[in-house]
Amino acid sequence: MTPDALFMAVDGGGTGCRARLEQADGTILGRGLAGPAATRFGVDASWAAIETAFSNAFAEAGIPDSDARPIQAGIGVAGLSRAGALEALEAKPHPFASVSLASDGVIACLGAHNGGDGGIVIVGTGSCGIARTGGADIKIGGYGFPISDEGSGAYLGLRAIRLAMLAHDGRAEPTALLKEILTHFNRDPRDVVAWMDTATATDYATFAPAVVRHADEGDTAARRLMQDAAAKIDGICRALLDRGAPRLTLIGGLGSVMESWLAPDLRKKLSPPLGDALDGAAILAGRRPLDIQRC
């Protein structure tokens, strides 16, 4: 690898796409942003977001897309496991010397452990456990809401709404959390049903902050919901450790929140991330892991 080698790192997620152009030593030359790039929006839409993001990174760096210098790209894409998605993305024309594709979870794992062995548990709208150890890839959960994604924001929202409906029927104590949810729907079950007919995982996850807030304030229903979600995340964490992950990190919008609800012995086994998903995408592209202290 030459010192002037360039790497384009792309993280294509369900809420947005980020790109970063950097040198072999990790020096960042340009950044770019775009809209959602998950394959559930269609491969063409996914690639359009990826292309916009890396074009914006080129523009910030002052380098035209058609630059003749060899640039290696590493691209993580949410939903890459969908049938035909990988092959379709591999067929897209691009300006790079090489392109390596992986799921957004894989690049997050690479970044969290600076290219070394380890596992991550993603706790956001959804949830998933991913590990790389001894050359093997491991995945726990992450099959999609509502059949999977235990302990996630969507999981919390679904269960909070379900409990609010029980409270409406007089079958559960109407705590402050449940009253807030019922008020959101005008205390009318018909409004809940109409919303449910088109609600996505993201929609359910919008209720997770209320669960967390009320749990911190001592609401009994909210605390039970957080304890239940934490038990699910606990199970994913221990499954990865049992399968040989030497290092484990929680990431995602609810990661730090959920960590405080985990058992003390498990919290002691968690390590902070060494990098982010874009670091992982750069490593996927071929950039060497950076010389940082592992802990």
User: Can you give the residue ranges of every domain in the chain?
Assistant: 6-114+274-285, 118-273
Distance CA 157, CA 10 (A): 30
pLDDT band at 135; cut points 50, 70, 90: confident
Residue 40 has pLDDT above 70, yes or no: yes
> What percent of the chain lies above the pLDDT cut of 70?
96
Position 1 confidence tier, pLDDT thresholds 50, 70, 90: low
Q: What are phi and psi of 118, to 5 degrees?
A: 165, 175
Cα angle value 172/173/178 (rounded, 5°): 90
pLDDT confidence of residue 128 = 94
- Take residue 242 and report the two structure tokens written for it: 């049992």
Higher pLDDT, 291 or 36: 36
**Which runs of consecutive H residues, i.e. helices, occur in 16-152?**
43-61, 85-90, 104-112
pLDDT, tens digit, for every residue of 184-221? 999 999 999 999 999 998 899 999 999 999 999 999 99
CATH, domain range 118-273 = 3.30.420.40
d(CA 164, CA 171): 10
Confidence of residue 295 (pLDDT cuts 50, 70, 90): very low
Q: Which residues pair with 270 in a beta bridge?
A: 248
Which carries the bigger pLDDT value, residue 40 or residue 96?
A: 96
Look up the CATH number of domain 6-114+274-285. 3.30.420.40
